[in-house]
Amino acid sequence: MLTGGHLLSVLVFFPAVGALALLLLRGDDHKYIRYLSLIVSVAEFIFSLFLLFKAPASASGYQLEEFIKWINQPPINYHLGVDGISIFLVILTTFLTPISILASWKNIEHRVKEFFIMLLMLEVGVVGVFLSLDLFLFFLFWEVMLIPMALLIGIWGHERRVYAAVKFVLYTMAGSILMLVGIIWLYNATGTFDLPTIQQMVANGVLVLAPRTEMILFLAFFVAFAIKVPLFPLHTWLPDAHVEAPTAGSVMLAGVLLKMGTYGMIRFCLPLFPDASRRAAIWVAALAIIGILYGALVAMVQPNLKKLVAYSSVSHLGFVVLGIFAFHNISMQGAVYQMLAHGISTGALFLLVGMLHDRRHTFEISEYGGLATPMPKFAAFFLFVALSSLGLPILNGFVGEYLILLGTYQHHWQWASWAALGVILSACYLLWSYQRVFFGEITKEKNRTLPDASVREKWILATMAVVSLGMGIGSTYITRRTAAAAQNVIDQVEPQRPYEASVPSRVVPSAGSLQVARDSRAAKPISLERLGTR
Amino acid sequence: MLPRTIDMYRVLPELLWCGFGVLVMLLQPFVRNRHFFTFLALIGTLTGTLASVISAANAGPGFYGLVESDSFSFFFRLLVGSVAFLVVLAAGPYLDRERLPVAEFYALLLFATAGMGVLASAQELLTAFIGLEISSISSYILAGYRRDSLKSSESAMKYFLLGSFATAFFLYGIALVYGATGTTVLDKMGDTDPASTLLKLGLAMILIGLGFKVAAAPFQVWTPDVYEGAPTPVTALFSAGPKAAAFALLLRIFATVPAATHFWFWAFWVLAVLTMFAGNLGALVQTNIKRLLAYSSIAHAGYILVAFAAVTSMAQGGSAEAAPAYAAVLFYLLTYALVKLGAFTIVSQLGGAGEKNLSLDDYAGLSQRQPVVAAILSIYLLSLLGLPVTAGFFGKFYIFKAAVNSNLIWLAVLMAINSVIGSYYYLRVIVVMYMRESSAEAAASVPVSFPLSVSVVLAVTAAGTILFGVMPNPVINFLLRPSLFGH
């Protein structure tokens, strides 16, 4: 099974097999259902780690490709492949799924079997999205993952769950149907749905689109992705979906679903429509910066803890979009890195908020206060995660934001300066909310007797903490894979531009941004110097 | 001019359907056993459907060019025959529950099927008219089959009055086309000047007549009332059978008659847009599931008309580049028939005695009470919505593709917008089933039983919906054959 030939197919469909097995269990065997889904998702995670061994780190193109003819009229193929960008997104997905399952161990009592089936089906859709190399197949997984997510929100969510679920589906649907028209249009121009083939045609100048056509096509794809990310004016579904979703739903939503949008931009918008991407970059960057600042400012005034985390996602994902559209190798790598870091940090934040909700059944910050006294361990974990999210060096959040700002700065120092404000703001809202929740006097009597983190919760949180520390320290392990893939994308957008990873030569060795993260103090003055010389 | 034997082969399905219809009527006074008639009707619909293979094997014009036995008619005979077969299966328990006489129902159903078969294979306009009349008149009676129900009678009356009006348009159109071309045989009209006003007027009349049958806006107003009032298995038939047959005729006419002009392109463009919006916007506010599905079938007629606009925007209808657009229409009709048939069967079964439980509220918490039924109904709804891995997705995809192929980007975008509007009300049903709790009395009542025959219908349609959603290859390859029309 794991000979490498079909590893990707196994990764896509193994959770579906698990879901089928769950279907056969009796609905009231809650214990077996939970254990089986945990085993399936952990096995899936282990399978996904094989990717790291099977796919050579230095290779730049797509690895482990699988190609089967599926439909002959029009020619649609089952074409999977993985590269330095998608490999970690897949692993992030398979990592967060068992975490979500563990997080739902106790607080899902109602329709347990369906819940875990939906989580596994969601995993199928998301992994499929990240591995598809056929536009049609990509679209298919993109749509398929909608239903489990909508049901997760709509059945197991909080009070306004139905509204949130329908809003989520309609927003996504509106974007994706237009993307389908774009995909078909592209097919008519090229005669194929195969992504590498079309990329080749664009790169070789075989496919030349009129500027207006290209811009329309770019928008057809971009809007679908921007809704998913979500980029500033299209973000309104996100707070609703997050606040109403159950904890596992929020973790998956923030952790991986949002990344499907930014992944789509990297994988489709930039390589397929390079000229349009360049022309749109300034506008996209403006929206991204507005999103960074707006998300942070709204988060700052949120009385609702979960909404605060949701808006912090808008802010953090703004960084990712900015990094992508700066068209710099380092910022691109930073964007990929930030996608992963955000998946871990924000996922962990949602887990923590969910645990608080399990205890008090409210997200209102004013209901808490002084929690550090009854639950010190929990408070410590929360602080750790908050710090990783706001970008404390040696933790994961720092690397991504730093690389994005560094790379963006090389091309557009104005963009970077505005975005840097977001870093400060994120420190404000996270620390301020931390202070209000955990420090001060205990104002509500109920809070005096709250239990500290249970063993299960400690294990979940410790895993997340270890991963975020590991990502902060061992960032080179990730960047050495993303470097080549990111450069591939840059080459397709701006073929005339030389390999720029070597510009700040002391910072970034050719294999990637090795020392950026490891030796942040050495790296920082360089960017300051450069600011001075301008 | 005696008919030759081969002519008989070429209309064998219709002969069998009619013959079994007559047989059922003749035996009705003598046999008391209800199951006997169900059985007979099943055999009748099945043999007729299988006989279409014989017709297809003897392809060619029958009765000196009045009918045409080709791949196109083969496809539609299979389709309407299978629809009739499944409707018989679904109707048996329904008729028992409502204590309605069986024999007449099946006889009328068989006649209606024969009429649809004639419509799909007619190569001559008067023959088509006869087919239309056979199927329509049977349909009028079937719509009013629950005689003691006010709604059913209203449905029949409305359908009859407006339907006759539309048929008159159709007939008048034939007269004008005859005036313009000097013939009523479709494939002899090839050398007529497409700019002739008389021809345009005639075709417009025909379009109005058939537009009524397929529920295209602005001729769609009857649909919700008729669909709501008619006995639900009959509604299932209406939404799947006559609609497909009328579209078949429309397609054959506009594929053979020189009609690839701006005029027809814009006619279909406007018709498609109006129909999509009328259906989808109307469905948004419905609380009765039958009316909701009726409006959705209007919307789907609009999607199919998008492909018609694609056909007429091409150089000449019958040419090779139009083939994908024809295939899109046919494939869509297939997927749509499967889904609507299944959905209405579930509605019919859940409706309960006297069809009382048709409100969306009656579906609240269905996933708790009857998880399998709720899951199957969700498959249908997702297919109507056009979600991947269901047949409806490929149906919509091929139409999108036909539209984009013909450079009808705006039409494709409007269709996309409509799909999003549509997804709202399909989702609403799923939301009600999965995310709301049952009312106290519904939770206390015994789950509705699904007899074997009904379960077979659901299994076949649901399996088909998934199968064609994963493997559309065989069907689409068949439909893309160069010799879809003619022999």
User: Given an 8 Å threshold on Cβ–Cβ distance, is B387 in contact with A143?
Assistant: yes
Rounded CA gap, A123 and B183, in Å? 62
Q: Per-residue pLDDT for B382 more than 70?
A: yes
pLDDT in tens, B425-467: 998 898 888 888 888 877 778 888 889 999 999 999 999 999 9
User: Given an 8 Å threshold on Cβ–Cβ distance, is A174 in contact with B397?
Assistant: no
A395 at interface of B, judged by CB pairs closer than 8 A: no
**Is residue A30 classed exposed, middle or buried when 0-12, 13-18 and 19+ CB atoms within 10 A define those classes?**
middle
CA distance readout (Å), A69 to A16, A134, B332, B471: 21, 11, 23, 11
List the single residue in B with minimal CA-CA distance to A144. B388
The most distant pair of C-alpha atoms in chain A lies apart, rounded to whole Å, by 71
Chain A residues whose CB is inside 8 A of the B432 CB are none
User: Given an 8 Å threshold on Cβ–Cβ distance, is B388 in contact with A143?
Assistant: yes
pLDDT in tens, A483-507: 888 888 888 887 665 554 444 434 4
Whether the CB-CB separation of A182 and A217 falls below 8 Å is answered with: yes
Rounded CA gap, B386 and B154, in Å? 33
With pLDDT > 70 as the criterion, what percentage of chain B qualifies? 98
Interface test with B, best of A71, A136, A153, A213 (most B CBs within 10 A): A71
**Is residue B228 classed exposed, middle or buried when 0-12, 13-18 and 19+ CB atoms within 10 A define those classes?**
buried
pTM of the model: 0.86
* Residue ranges of A 183-202 with Cβ closer than 8 A to chain B: 184-185, 187-188
B409 at interface of A, judged by CB pairs closer than 8 A: yes
Instruction: Kindly state the average pLDDT of the residues B289-311.
Output: 92
Interface test with B, best of A72, A135, A167, A177 (most B CBs within 10 A): A177
The residue written with tokens 């298919």 in the block is A140
A169 at interface of B, judged by CB pairs closer than 8 A: yes
Identify the helix (H) or strand (E) that includes residue B401: helix B391-405
The helix/strand/coil state of A268 is helix
pLDDT band at B486 (very low <50, low <70, confident <90, very high): low
For A394, phi then psi, to 5°, come to 70, -10
Cα dihedral A487, A490, A494, A497 sign: negative
The residue written with tokens 């709204």 in the block is A298
User: Given an 8 Å threshold on Cβ–Cβ distance, is B387 in contact with A154?
Assistant: no
Prior bond of B218 cis (ω within 30°): yes
User: Given an 8 Å threshold on Cβ–Cβ distance, is B427 in contact with A162?
Assistant: no
Helix axes A112-131, A7-24, angle to 10 degrees: 170
Question: In this complex, which of A71, A173, A180 lies closest to B423 when CB atoms are compared?
Answer: A173
B422 at interface of A, judged by CB pairs closer than 8 A: no
Residues written for chain A: 534
Tokens of A34: 């939970």
Ramachandran area for residue A369 (φ above 0: left; ψ -120 to 50: alpha; else beta): left
pLDDT band at B259 (very low <50, low <70, confident <90, very high): low
Domain boundaries, chain A: 1-267, 273-534
Tokens of B102: 């069986």
Mean residue pLDDT across chain B:
89
Positions in chain A whose pLDDT score sits under 70: 1-4, 495-534
Cα dihedral A405, A408, A413, A416 sign: negative
B400 at interface of A, judged by CB pairs closer than 8 A: yes
The helix/strand/coil state of B126 is helix
Shortest distance, CA A498 to any CA of chain B (angstroms): 38
Shortest distance, CA B401 to any CA of chain A (angstroms): 6
Question: In this complex, which of A161, A170, A188 lies closest to B404 when CB atoms are compared?
Answer: A188
Interface test with B, best of A180, A209, A221 (most B CBs within 10 A): A180
B427 at interface of A, judged by CB pairs closer than 8 A: yes
Confidence (pLDDT) at A524: 36
Rounded CA gap, B297 and B87, in Å? 18
Nearest partner of B297 among B333, B265, B349, judged by Cα? B333
Shortest distance, CA B357 to any CA of chain A (angstroms): 23
Question: Which has the minimum average pLDDT: B298-307, B366-375, B478-487?
Answer: B478-487
Amino acid at B145: Y
User: Given an 8 Å threshold on Cβ–Cβ distance, is A185 in contact with B409?
Assistant: yes
User: Given an 8 Å threshold on Cβ–Cβ distance, is A161 in contact with B435?
Assistant: yes
Instruction: Kindly state the average pLDDT of the residues B323-337.
Output: 90
Partners of B61 in the beta sheet? Answer: B68
User: Given an 8 Å threshold on Cβ–Cβ distance, is A74 in contact with B405?
Assistant: no
Shortest distance, CA A156 to any CA of chain B (angstroms): 9
CA distance readout (Å), A222 to A179, A276, A287, A424, B3: 8, 11, 13, 29, 63
Q: How many A-B residue pairs are in contact by the CB < 8 A criterion?
A: 80
B421 at interface of A, judged by CB pairs closer than 8 A: no
B195 at interface of A, judged by CB pairs closer than 8 A: no
Question: In this complex, which of B382, B404, B436 lies closest to A185 when CB atoms are compared?
Answer: B404
Rounded CA gap, A118 and A82, in Å? 25
Rounded CA gap, A78 and A137, in Å? 7
CA distance readout (Å), B237 to A158, B44, B49, B101, B364: 41, 16, 16, 18, 26
* A63-71 and A76-82 beta bridge pairing: antiparallel
User: Given an 8 Å threshold on Cβ–Cβ distance, is B413 in contact with A178?
Assistant: yes
User: Given an 8 Å threshold on Cβ–Cβ distance, is A178 in contact with B431?
Assistant: no
pLDDT band at B82 (very low <50, low <70, confident <90, very high): very high
Whether the CB-CB separation of A182 and A213 falls below 8 Å is answered with: no
Question: In this complex, which of B388, B405, B473 lies closest to A71 when CB atoms are compared?
Answer: B473
Chain A residues whose CB is inside 8 A of the B428 CB are 166
Cα dihedral B461, B467, B472, B475 sign: negative
User: Given an 8 Å threshold on Cβ–Cβ distance, is B420 in contact with A173?
Assistant: yes
B433 at interface of A, judged by CB pairs closer than 8 A: no
B424 at interface of A, judged by CB pairs closer than 8 A: yes
Helix axes A475-493, A86-103, angle to 10 degrees: 130
Question: In this complex, which of B416, B471, B476 lies closest to A178 when CB atoms are compared?
Answer: B416
Confidence (pLDDT) at A109: 81
Chain B residues whose CB is inside 8 A of the A162 CB are 431, 435-436
User: Given an 8 Å threshold on Cβ–Cβ distance, is A72 in contact with B477?
Assistant: yes
Shortest distance, CA B375 to any CA of chain A (angstroms): 12
CA-based angle B237:B238:B239, to the nearest 5?
A: 95
pLDDT in tens, B111-137: 999 999 999 999 999 999 999 999 999
Amino acid at A377: K
